Structure 1
Amino acid sequence: MSTKMIYGASLAALLAAAGPAFAEDDAPALQDVVVVTGQSNSTETETQMTPDYLPLEGPDITHLLARTPGGARIGNGALSGQVQYRGLFGERLNLRVDGQRFASGGPGLMDPVFHYAPAPLIAQVVIDRGVSPVSAGPGLAGGSDAVFKRVDFSDDAEPTLGYDLSFSTRSVDSSYAGGGVIGLSTDSWRVNVIGSTEQGEDFEFADGTVGGSEYQRDVYGLSAGYRTGAHTFSFDMRRQNTGKSGNPPFPMDIQFFDTDFARAGYEGDFDSFDVKASLNYIDVAHLMDNYTLRQDPPPDRQRYTYAYATTLGGDLSVSFAHFGGVMEVGLDGETVEHDVTIYNPNNANFFVTPMPDIEESRVGVFAEWTGFTRGVNAQFGLRVDDYSTEAGTAVTGPALPMAPQMLASMFNMADPGADETTVDAVARFWTEEINGFTWRGTIARKNQVPNYVQRYGWLPLTASGGLADGNIYVGDLDLDPETAWIFEAGFDYFGQSFYARPTLFLRDVQDYIQGVPYDDTIGVADSMVEMVAGMSGDPTPLRFANTDARLYGLDLDFGYDFDGPWRVDGVFSYVRGERTDIDDNLYRVAPPNLTLAATYEQADWSASFEVRGVAEQSDVSLTNSEQETGAYAIANFYGDWTIRDGVHLSFGIENLFDEVYRDHLSGYNRNAESDVALGERVPGAGRSAFVRIGIVG
């Protein structure tokens, strides 16, 4: 199947030849589907896929999403990368793993959502184009769901063996990864086990080694299902153990994440309506410190932090025919508990709870209609969410100075409770294909409530929910939710040889939560917060506050299929993020970038030469003391070979000319045991060769 024939055609080095799988009630204009591993099966609601490959730029699937239109990667560590989509990242995006929404374990977001999506276990990533539908849950902007591999029901009463495995190695960090799924299924039951193991050393670049960039991660689990008539029951559970893994842009590194996932689901097809329901449980235990993977600070400055997060959630929805389309109504929610405690390993009397016993709960209801009206396809959605948060008592050990103890007393005397209600509305339109064109547009109002760090961070710390800008922050109990008005317009064009999918977008965000100077007397320690921050080396702390912001831009993918074996594909992304309450820019927004790939393709093999060019980023945040970055370009080579049915080999060399480059989103180095100077941006990986083999049956 040629790239020009499929919806979601993208960069040749990303999708060599793939047809995304859409259910009959899905709308291609609203989603992208990126297939991570080769698929050999097909059903009535799928398009058969030939095996594809992705560049092996690292273990984090955020590298993959960064290659899609509007996508970028926040590089906070090999296993701590965050997705940026059209300038927004972190909890503002509606990210799910196998359909589950959950709270990350640490206040620094060392375990963002896709930390829990190892590439060897992921079958595909479904991207919500532009904005997420209200049925997928709350969120300020777009989102995506990383779907795990599993052995599906077969068409036979006799058990059938199925498996999907991959094994890879990469030179730049001497890393390896392996894993997948293997199981049995019939037409009425299925059961499979999953497992993966990954490990890498500090990665290299032309001028040396990036210290403290090693990683290790293991996952194992079980998935089962039972089908009787029109009713399907499922159960999934898995355990993830992340070991010592470096985070050069952070003041601490991961010592472990021990995380348990459990999910029970039901789908039923009744005469006049369909029902979906699930219950979810996620428990995260996390330890980080500032001395195991980096140069030891003085004994009185050594710290380790325990953090916990538990999420219990569920959802129920009913779909039925209505007004010539499909109406879905539903109820969902979750309860989340957080706790964070900081210790000094050399002093039993030094401990403090900067985010003590935080409890967050949400209950949401939604209605979403998808169908054909007034000559166009449309989706209309309305969601109402009710939030409630509470905090426990801040505790300090007797070894802490008097100033932080006084701040703890002030926090304990305040009213830490908060209750908010948000209303989201989404209207999306797209036409039928007319002469190769599908026109589309979106108008939406979306909300995001403050996270627990932004609201309850009473102690001045560098913990900032993954911003990693080096600033010290405190929270604000009186923060309001962010509200974004979103407008998008574009088209998908597929001709005989050429395709293009451009989108223009605008997001106007009221009450955007951003760090601002703590008070008007910047640099003068005339408050307790500034005094405590000064003890940690930053006399100019920031506090989270409601501001106003605007993001706008253009992104597209495009390509041309020549007569014969050659084709060219490309992805372009441009986003501008700015404060509208003052003259400043938003922090850590990706610069304009363009990727072009020329591919030579035969029936069972292909080869691609790719060039990625990134412009300078001079539109930086003065408030966050953000440094500008220069332009750069790197070249890559990728090969792909289907050895035989079910066996697929991919290989490549990335950064062919061993360029030293610094991505604007890579963060500033804070690990002294490195060939990168303190405060300098972490460079990209040097020349690297990789090999991966996939086996499907």
Structure 2
Amino acid sequence: MTAPAVVAQESVFEIIEVTGSHQGSYSTVTPEASTPVADISGLLSKLPGTEVNGNGPLTGIAQYRGLFGDRVNTKVNGVSLAGAGPNAMDTPLSYASLINSERVEMTRGIAPVSAGANTIGGSVKVVESQASFDDVSGKVAAQYQDNGEQSHIGAKANLGNKKHAVLVYGDQMQGNDDQQTGTSLAISPTTYDKTIVGGQYRFNLSNNSVNDESIAIGYQHLETTDAGTPALPMDIDFIRTDRVKVEGQHDLSDWDLNWHLAYSDARHGMNNFSERVKNDNVSARYNNAESESYDSALSLAKDAWIFGLDAQLSEHNSVITDPTKPMFSVDNFNGVTDNTLSTFGQWQQDIDRWNWQLGLRVKHYQTDADEVNHSMAASMPAIKVLMDRYNNSDRSQSQTGFDLVVNARYRVDESLSWIIGLARKQDSASYQQRYLWVPMQSTGGLADGRTYVGKMDLELETAYQLELGADYHNDRLSLSPRIFLHRIDDYIQGVTATDPAVIMAAKMMGDNNPMEFANVDAQLFGMDITAIYQLTPHWQLEMLANYVSGERRDIEDNLYRIAPPKINLGLNYQRGNWLARIEGVAVSGQDKVSQTQLEQTTAGYGLVNLSLAYDADNWLIKAGVNNLLDRDYQDHLAGYNRVANSDISIGERMPGVGLNAWLTGEYRF
């Protein structure tokens, strides 16, 4: 019951594929098909409708059609595990291994209910290699980028016979210098040091290596040190995370049973003085954060049906101190629990020329938090009011929501299909949006320079989604346009704070215009298009274009941090083992900005990128130059500079990276 592929490009530079399955239509890109990246999130800009909010070289947050952060269901190796950082320094995608990642998948359009519990903003999956039977293979890969002296070396190996299989892998990533803009300004700090090691053991439950019945256990350790995040008030001192996943696949009377249980223990330290210069009038701050999280899922599939149960459970703690003042201590978040339990059913079937997919998911959200303390409460009445109000309130919240999705594809003929999708989806507030009790910038990576307070009783966001599109392909042309409309009731974003205690507490910390999270009404609409045209047997032209507009419906204003319109044109050449590509990227100015959040506009710009590769049977070498013309520009999704005494003024929009020459290579065995 799989629909035919409608867009496919076999190129070492970019692979975009759209297929139909129980998981819905999706677009993919592989690390080998892209230019070098320090973080797997760098691949997102190659996918239709998808961009990345970058707060630093290792802190990419997925954005899909204007929605970002927790609204985008993000899974690495099939699981959703919470990071430790209250400002999303360890984003979900930062846990993906570059060497072990086979591809990044983005559900094109409305994500089916089987994709995950919270898919109001779509679904991103990083598909990693698994230990495989009857296979002995491996890969060694390395890359170097001149701008920032960024390097990566990674290796993986699989050893498998009919009964047992072992996979091991490791990555070492470094940025030894600050990146430079097109006018030779240092983007500081953008250095980093990151290591990932992991492995998996799989045991075959069947009598042969063909049947897909097995159990496996996997482990990953991640360590990041001395990494800059110039769009945030602090940098990464360390991130140390251990993750374990146990999983199984079984055949039960023609039903396919899949299950997993995953656990994460994340520790995170950040500060405002080790990677950046701290002015004398600024207090030293160190934040110790930690989280424990569980992700479990069970699904049963047979023919047209798939049913499932899943749960995501997490606890978060974050304490802010001043190394120069031992008595100073603030509970940023204390004993915050954020749990989601859900169940779903999905049916997908071909009926005449139609392929129908219908799904329902019911979700129960439960959150709670312990009491907090602030060492300055005795001397600051406003903070004492906020602390007592928080501690005396009923912090336990419980809500139930549901998602309903209808996706349909009508096949006109072998070349043309029409697509329609309808959905009603709900999502809960993040723990930061509920339990940020004193004005701070721990906002899950908003990077707008504002201080916020949360609201415990935020309503569920409710989105009504419409998708219309077409897939056309013949021997030379593939064309896939989509248009979409999302009307979201009770959309959660920052509004100007009106609470006198909040305003007074914020003024004590130097912010005269604090924000508070609230439910508003919003609307997003736009389109994205992919096209590939085979000019000759050796020359191929491709295009990727995105447009999205996000606005408030309750007042005259726009939504915050919406990606500007963009078009990417690439000309590919392939003859034998040689491949070459010239790419032009045109990004429009963005003047539809959030006045409420004092968002700055940005000007449009254009970039030229070049690539050349030789791909042999078991080795590959690639070289290229990004931003060939060394253009100076500002990235609208990169936030604002928070670092004093740097080449970029405080509060100025973060610039993009200038000319960047790079080289990659890999050996496969």
Tell me the TM-score normalised to structure 1 length. 0.91
8 Å contact kept, 1:11–1:569: no
Q: Distance in 1 between matches of 2:182 and 2:378?
A: 44
Partner of 1:412: 391
Counterparts in 2 of 1:162 and 1:78: CA distance versus 1, 3 Å? same
Could you report, residue by residue, the CA deviation over 1:154-194 in whole angstroms, capped at 9, with x for unpaired residues?
2xxxxx42102211100001111011311201122210211
In the TM superposition, what whole-angstrom CA distance separates every residue of 1:431-480 from its partner, at most 9, and x where no partner exists? 34614112211101111101111001111001211111011100011201
Partner residue, 1:144:
124
Matched, 1:291 2:273: yes
SS at match of 2:99: helix
Once the two structures are superposed, the pairs formed by residues 520-599 of structure 1 within 5 Å of their partners are 527-599=500-572
Q: CA deviation at 1:151?
A: 4.1
Contact 2:146–2:660 (CA under 8 A) maintained in structure 1: yes
- CA RMSD of superposed structures (Å): 1.9
The yes-or-no answer on 1:227 pairing with 2:204 is yes
CA contact (8 A) 1:350 1:400 kept: no
Residue identity in the other structure for 2:236: I
**Structure-2 change in CA distance of 1:398 and 1:249 (3 Å):** closer
Partner residue of 2:143 out of 153, 168, 172:
168
Asked whether 1:35 is paired with 2:30, we answer yes
SS of match in other structure, 1:488: strand
1:222-254: per-residue Cα shift (whole Å, max 9, x none)? 111111215311111110001111011111011
In structure 1, list runs of 5 or more residues that go unmatched.
38-52, 155-159, 520-525
Alignment partners' CA distance in 2, 1:300 and 1:82: 28
Pairwise CA distance, 1:300: 6.6
Question: Contact 2:7/2:473 (CA < 8 Å) preserved in 1?
Answer: no
Map of 1:676 onto structure 2: 648
Q: Is the 8 A contact 1:362 1:388 kept in 2?
A: yes
Conserved? CA contact 1:12–1:597, under 8 Å? no
Q: Structure 2 residue aligned with 1:388, among 346, 352, 366?
A: 366
Shift of 1:417: 0.7
Output the CA distance in 1 between the equivalents of 2:231 and 2:494.
18
Q: Is the 8 A contact 1:611 1:633 kept in 2?
A: yes
Contact kept, 8 Å, 1:163 with 1:181, in 2: the verdict is yes
Deviates more, 1:470-479 or 1:297-306: 297-306
Distance in 2 between residues matched to 1:168 and 1:380, nearest whole Å: 44
Greater shift in the superposed pair: 624-633 or 687-696: 687-696
In structure 2, what is the equivalent of residue 157 of structure 1?
none
Q: 1:141 to 1:399 in 2, by over 3 A?
A: closer
- Alpha-carbon distance between aligned partners in 2 of 1:668 and 1:11, rounded to the nearest angstrom: 38
Deviation at 1:96, TM superposition (A): 0.3
Runs of 5+ consecutive residues of structure 2 not aligned to the other structure: none
CA–CA separation in structure 2 for the residues paired with 1:21 and 1:271: 31
8 A Cα contact 1:10 1:569, kept in partner: no
Deviations 1:497-538 (A, max 9, x none): 11111000011111000100112xxxxxx7111111011211
Secondary structure of the residue aligned to 1:65 is helix
Equivalent residue, structure 2, for 1:195: 170
Distance 2:622 2:17 in 1: 20
- Does the CA contact (< 8 Å) of 1:120 and 1:177 recur in 2? no
1:317 is matched with 299
Q: Is 2:228 the partner of 1:246?
A: yes
Which amino acid in 2 is paired with 1:164? K
Structure 1 CA distance, aligned partners of 2:483 and 2:405?
17
1:64 aligned onto 2:43: yes
1:66 counterpart SS class: helix
Question: Which one of 339, 342, 346 corresponds to residue 317 of structure 2?
Answer: 339
Is the contact made by 1:287 and 1:307 (CA closer than 8 Å) also made in structure 2?
yes
Report the secondary structure of 2:226's partner residue: coil
Q: Deviations over 1:369-424 (max 9, x none)?
A: 11113541111110001111111010122587423233211110111010000111
Deviations 1:624-674 (A, max 9, x none): 1000000100101011211x3110111110100101011111111111242
CA displacement at 1:564 relative to structure 2: 3.4
Q: Measure how far apart 1:33 and its partner are.
A: 2.5
Match of 1:9 in 2: 8
Q: Select 2:308's aligned residue among 325, 330, 333.
A: 330
- How far apart are residue 689 of structure 1 and its match? 0.7
TM-score by length of 2: 0.95
Letter in 2 for 1:663: D
- Which residue of 56, 69, 79 maps to 1:100? 79
Local SS of the residue matching 1:216: strand
CA distance in 2, matches of 1:135, 1:429: 16
Give the Å deviation of 1:27: 5.9
Match of 2:446 among 440, 460, 467: 467
Counterpart pick for 1:397 among 375, 378, 382: 375
Percent of matched pairs sharing the same residue: 32
- Measured after TM superposition, the shift of residue 102 of structure 1 is 1.4
Q: Residues 313, 678 of structure 1: CA spacing in aligned structure 2 closer, same or farther, 3 A cutoff?
A: same
CA distance in 1, matches of 2:630, 2:408: 45
Residues 1:662 and 2:634 are matched in the alignment: yes
Q: Residue type of the partner of 1:655?
A: N
SS of alignment partner, residue 227 of structure 2: coil
Q: Which residue of 1 aligns with 2:436?
A: 457
Whether the 8 Å CA contact 1:14–1:67 is kept in 2: the answer is no
- 1:346 CA displacement: 0.8
- Distance in structure 2 (CA, Å) of the matches to 1:74 and 1:252: 17
User: What amino acid is the match of 2:41?
Assistant: T
Residue 36 of structure 1 and its aligned partner are, at CA, apart by 2.4
The answer to whether 1:514 aligns with 2:490 is: no
2:416 is matched with 437
Listed one character per residue, the Cα deviations across residues 77-109 of structure 1 (whole Å, up to 9, x for unaligned) are 000011111001100001000001111211111
SS in structure 2 of the partner of residue 585 of structure 1:
coil
Q: Distance in 1 between matches of 2:577 and 2:563?
A: 36
Which region of structure 1 is more displaced relative to structure 2, 390-399 or 282-291?
Answer: 390-399
Equivalent residue, structure 1, for 2:35: 55
Matches of 2:93 and 2:563 in 1, distance apart?
A: 19
> Is 1:603 matched up with 2:576?
yes
How many Å separate the matches in 2 of 1:678 and 1:396?
A: 28
Contact persistence 1:12–1:568 (CA under 8 A) = no
Say which SS state the counterpart of residue 438 (structure 1) adopts.
Answer: strand
Mapped to 2, the partners of 1:204 and 1:565 lie a distance apart of 36
Looking at structure 2, the residues matched to 408 and 13 of structure 1 have their Cα atoms a distance apart, in angstroms, of 56
Secondary structure of the corresponding residue to residue 190 of structure 2: coil
Report deviation, 1:355: 1.5
Deviation at 1:562, TM superposition (A): 1.2
Mapped partners of 2:476, 2:586: distance in 1: 25
- Partners of 1:68 and 1:414 lie apart in 2 by 44
1:616 aligns with 2:584: no
AA in 1 matched with 2:226: K
d(CA) in 2 for partners of 1:196 and 1:634? 30
The equivalent residue for 1:268 is 250
Offset of 1:320 from its aligned partner? 2.0
Asked if the contact 1:138–1:447 (Cα under 8 Å) also holds between the matched residues in 2, the reply is no
| Aligned match of 1:43 | none
